[in-house]
Amino acid sequence: MSGGSARSLGKGSAPPGQVPEGLIRVYSMRFCPFAKRTLLVLKAKGIGHEVININLKNKPEWFFKKNPFGLVPVLENSQGQVIYESAITCEYLDEAYPGKKLLPDDPYEKACQKMVFELFSKVPPLLLSFLRRQNKEDCSGLKEELHKEFSKLEEVLTNKKTTFFGGSSLSMIDYLIWPWFEWLVALELNEYVNHTPNLKLWMEAMMKDPAVSSLFIDPKAFRGFLDLYLQNNLEACDYGL
Amino acid sequence: VTDDATRTLGKGSAPPGPVPEGLIRLYSMRFCPYAHRTRLVLQAKGIRHEVININLRNKPEWYFTKHPFGKIPVLENSKCQLIYESVIACEYLDDAYPGRKLYPCDSYERARQKMLLDLFYKILGYQNTVFFGGDCISMIDYLFWPWFERLDVYGIADCVNHTPALRLWIAAMKQDPTVCALLIDKNIFLGFLNLYFQNNPDAFDYGLSC
């Protein structure tokens, strides 16, 4: 896979050419949890792809032609079709490519995965707020809110009596929520799942997954990135390269 | 008279029994646009169903066993499986029932529809100010308004609190002198629509006195 650890493209960069046949391209950023979802699915399904990293603090003008919202991830195929919004990209890949299906065929089980996804939706903005405020202000309120959200997820696992959110094997919903829990591991904040034992076990099981472990975020690089990113530093996205 | 024209169930009401085989049940409310989505899909696919309307200001205690926060719409089938969130419910119906598929078969076209829906939510969510352009009314508000004025005729403001920002925007727009001056009378508009859908050429002059 080319480009996963390549320098990002920023303002003034030349737009990339057409996507070669047989490959799909993902516009990404090494530390973006939303893009991580798409990379995990690409890896898990063994889909041939190329990665172009975007400097999210200094976006190339041509990137807005790919996604008017200027966000990653974005998929582009050799027919010039563009898909954005991370959950939509993941579902598209599962439907368009052969091999192991990550979403269940059963309509009710599929609906359950989407309901869990909704249940998870408060975690990303909460975690980001938490990371912005750490060491600066009192974030005990945020901590409590995070605990509340984690407890909701714990309840799902407790009721299902399975290791993973979709059943006894790893499936789409696990990959969709994983990137934020990966942050907890990288920042050594595992204590946040101390009161949610099933969630803790789930995290340990996820770390053993080949796609997860091969794409695991580098903790040092992540910390370096986070510091620069929160300061709006243009070099953040390429930290460690 | 639509099949959901029944009185709501509120606090103190007896919980409904299990869903009979061969039917799917929808917990709904007649004026809710989110539940309306699900009713549209049920209708479009010819799915046999029953509707239980919920009094959203006086929810039955038993309803919280169907949805943790008592929201609608919720689908319940004869296997006691519960599905909620309007978009998830609609997709479930499309997947689970035979006949005409509402989502396209092509994976890219499916993705396109989902991106469009996301855009719709972004438009609703783009407001962090009273008006879409800021604290004062501006072009974008006027560009959106005609569609919302027409929707308002059907009373979405009466519905669930899903979109408080939008309701606030509608109320604020109605106070704008320009919007006020051109506001279509609800009865005249309904009269027009009635004739229009009958392809009656007099529709266009409905409400004019001469």
pLDDT digits (tens, 9 = 90+) for A1-53: 345 789 999 999 999 999 999 999 999 999 999 999 999 999 999 999 999 99
Q: What is the ipTM of this complex?
A: 0.91
Terminal-residue alpha carbon distance, chain A? 17
Q: Are residues A116 and A201 in the same domain?
A: yes
Which chain B residues are closer than 8 Å to A108 by Cβ?
Answer: 77, 79, 81, 83, 92, 96
Pairing of strands A49-53, A24-28: parallel
pLDDT digits (tens, 9 = 90+) for B107-123: 999 999 999 888 877 77
Q: Are residues A92 and A161 in the same domain?
A: no
Give the 3-state secondary structure of A185-240. HHCCCHHHHCCCHHHHHHHHHHHCCHHHHHCCCCHHHHHHHHHHHHCCCCCHHHCC
CA distances from B150 to B135, B144, B155 (A): 24, 11, 9
Cα–Cα distance, A148 to A165 (Å, whole number): 18
- CB–CB contacts below 8 A, A to B: 53
- Residue A224 belongs to a domain: no
Residue A1 has what pLDDT? 38
Residue in A74, A95, A119 to test binding to B, most B beta-carbons within 10 Å: A95
Lowest-pLDDT range, A69-78, A166-175, B4-13?
B4-13
The range of the structural domain enclosing residue A123 comes to 107-208
Residue B126 has what pLDDT? 63
- Residue A94 belongs to a domain: yes
Residue B30 has what pLDDT? 82
Q: Are residues A113 and A194 in the same domain?
A: yes
Distance from CA of A49 to the nearest CA of B (A): 17
3-class SS of residue B135: coil
Q: Are residues A50 and A69 in the same domain?
A: yes
Terminal-residue alpha carbon distance, chain B? 34
Partner residue opposite B92 with nearest CB, options A83, A96, A108 = A108
Residue B1 has what pLDDT? 43
Distance from CA of A108 to the nearest CA of B (A): 7
CB contact under 8 A, B115 and A89: no
Q: Are residues A177 and A127 in the same domain?
A: yes
**More confident call, B61 vs B56:** B61
- Residue A59 belongs to a domain: yes
- Residue A199 belongs to a domain: yes
The rounded Cα B185 to chain-centroid distance in angstroms is: 22
Q: Residue A39 maps to which CATH number?
A: 3.40.30.10
Q: Residue A120 maps to which CATH number?
A: 1.20.1050.10
Q: Are residues A78 and A125 in the same domain?
A: no
Q: Are residues A94 and A112 in the same domain?
A: no
Distance from CA of B172 to the nearest CA of A (A): 28
Which chain B residues are closer than 8 Å to A83 by Cβ?
Answer: 108, 111-112, 115
pLDDT digits (tens, 9 = 90+) for B166-185: 778 888 988 988 888 888 88
Which chain A residues are closer than 8 Å to B114 by Cβ?
Answer: 85, 88, 91
pLDDT digits (tens, 9 = 90+) for A113-130: 999 999 999 999 999 998
Cα–Cα distance, A215 to A32 (Å, whole number): 12
Q: Are residues A112 and A84 in the same domain?
A: no
**Count of the separate structural domains present in chain A:** 2
- Residue A4 belongs to a domain: no
Q: Are residues A126 and A200 in the same domain?
A: yes
A188 touches chain B (CB under 8 A): no
**pLDDT at position B106 over 70:** yes
3-class SS of residue A154: helix
3-class SS of residue B86: helix
